[in-house]
Structure 1
């Protein structure tokens, strides 16, 4: 009899445990099906922590685990700072854009669900004389419009300010297709930076320009390192810029791709063979004579004369 009671107790406890696990699984599946929180599908809830909707969570993309709720899931996947969790290191820009689009659509669904129409009570004929055509006193009526929910007025104002920047400065419209232009506004919209002011005239032409040049030089290092292994061609030609200045440019071309080296303003110079040889020699020494297979120019007489002098000084070219 005692054995049977113990077995019944164990069986009952197992049934309760299975019921709790089933309820927890059902609850988690229901929450992951919630179209207002679509980012749950990119993480796995390991176990509940401390109640209040908090869980131990593992990212399905980078396998990093962390605690808390859907707020931290958004911060991790969308790389939102200031939320106590590090952004997912394996999410690249293209994937990040897709996730933000999914999150924005969910936000719109939440906002739309809050704007359900409100039924109005009937009003007497006497009161209708002092109300508008909807039967509601204008002083008491409170409406919630699409414009107020999505802040369309602010969006429209910002659009016009950006347009005026283009028009007043004569900026080409194709600048709007520049990915850095779009990234700048997207970053500002998705990150609260209190009191931020865009860089001014002096910062753009000094500090930021110097930093960007160092950044570009770092990006070019892999190409430069391939010069001795693959050999290069120096390509040079004359042209005029939009200000009608006479220029001679030099480019380095390898299997890894072309790289602009420099341009010389020769508006006030006599472009004879000595002038061109002088600058050609500087380029050769910068790239390294042993790395150069050939030099390509146009077939002007002065360029042919330059070629003979260079071949005499650098027999390997």
Structure 2
């Protein structure tokens, strides 16, 4: 194993596509490669520059770890931010099969008729995608989402020519539940620090587009803020007792031993509610925010 694993995890946006295409393994730059595993082919011990965890495997596992590819036999990196993920996916030449330069050359064709058909197909794809945006009222900013780009790239370069995108029911049931499990797994890494570092409960009221009165509950900790829930207060009187009860329920849900303070605005009902909470939990402090 290499004696030093210290390295920067900054993803530079200055690398151009031509440079990345010359290197079929660009993501090795974002891990610290250690010793090669004996008898393991292209497998190495390596350390991720983002999460700092030591892993082992080939470039395929490095790619899966950094780009968040599931089912590759390795845990995805939870420290890669969305902006970095977009840059990493741009660096990786997804349209090129790694280690198959000969195959790439074979795919190149000077046949102008074939090129014309390919161009016509691309134009048709562009038209279908644009119509989806226009008829569905989708914001153009969606095209900057890295998952928008990667979904079409993977579909275009996969061997599943008969693939069809998920329909209405699958999106709102099976896939939604699967993604919820994925988000819960990522949030669990934050929750695991609550017992040792403590948290602050932050609460504030607002109205949604339907003008329903809501109270937001956020959890702030050393690992970062986390949205917990929004409570619909329609038909409720938001007096001191109601707010104190709501905050107490959140404290009990998290575990009062993990809570350091609660933060609300300095309205009179919130101030009294904070005093009530302090009376129930002597080790928890109420902290007001100042109105602008």
Residue among 78, 90, 96 paired with 2:62: 90
> Normalized against structure 1, the TM-score is what?
0.60
Deviation at 1:313, TM superposition (A): 0.7
Q: Specify whether residues 222 and 281 from structure 1 end up closer, same or farther in structure 2 by C-alpha distance, changes over 3 A only.
A: same
Q: Specify whether residues 111 and 146 from structure 1 end up closer, same or farther in structure 2 by C-alpha distance, changes over 3 A only.
A: farther
Q: Specify whether residues 62 and 300 from structure 1 end up closer, same or farther in structure 2 by C-alpha distance, changes over 3 A only.
A: farther
What is the DSSP-based 3-state SS (H/G/I as helix, E as strand, rest coil) of the residue aligned with 2:200?
strand
Q: Specify whether residues 40 and 240 from structure 1 end up closer, same or farther in structure 2 by C-alpha distance, changes over 3 A only.
A: closer
Residue among 276, 280, 298 paired with 2:247: 280
- Aligned partners of 1:203, 1:299: CA distance in 2, in Å? 45
Indicate whether 1:184 and 2:151 are aligned. Answer: yes
Indicate whether 1:299 and 2:229 are aligned. Answer: no
Q: Which has the larger radius of gyration?
A: 1
Q: Is the 8 A contact 1:276 1:306 kept in 2?
A: yes
CA RMSD of aligned residues (A): 3.5
Deviation at 1:260, TM superposition (A): 0.7
Deviation at 1:203, TM superposition (A): 1.4
Q: Deviations over 1:273-300 (max 9, x none)?
A: 2222222111000111111111111111
Q: Specify whether residues 206 and 38 from structure 1 end up closer, same or farther in structure 2 by C-alpha distance, changes over 3 A only.
A: closer
Residues 202-241 of structure 1 correspond to what in structure 2 (within 5 A)? 202-241=169-208
Indicate whether 1:269 and 2:231 are aligned. Answer: no
More helix by share: 1
Q: Is the 8 A contact 1:247 1:263 kept in 2?
A: yes
> Normalized against structure 2, the TM-score is what?
0.64
Q: Is the 8 A contact 1:250 1:261 kept in 2?
A: yes
- Aligned partners of 2:203, 2:209: CA distance in 1, in Å? 19
Deviation at 1:112, TM superposition (A): 10
What is the DSSP-based 3-state SS (H/G/I as helix, E as strand, rest coil) of the residue aligned with 1:100?
coil
Deviation at 1:174, TM superposition (A): 1.2
Q: Is the 8 A contact 1:252 1:260 kept in 2?
A: yes
Indicate whether 1:100 and 2:93 are aligned. Answer: yes
- Aligned partners of 1:102, 1:173: CA distance in 2, in Å? 24
Q: Specify whether residues 242 and 294 from structure 1 end up closer, same or farther in structure 2 by C-alpha distance, changes over 3 A only.
A: same
Runs of 4+ displaced beyond 6 Å: 60-63
- Aligned partners of 1:206, 1:39: CA distance in 2, in Å? 38
Q: Is the 8 A contact 1:62 1:89 kept in 2?
A: no
Unaligned 5+ residue runs, structure 2? 1-20, 28-33, 43-57, 68-84, 285-292
Unaligned 5+ residue runs, structure 1? 1-35, 43-59, 67-85, 116-142
Q: Specify whether residues 244 and 309 from structure 1 end up closer, same or farther in structure 2 by C-alpha distance, changes over 3 A only.
A: same
Higher relative contact order (CA 8 A, sep 6+): 2
Residue among 148, 168, 173 paired with 2:116: 148
What is the DSSP-based 3-state SS (H/G/I as helix, E as strand, rest coil) of the residue aligned with 2:62?
coil
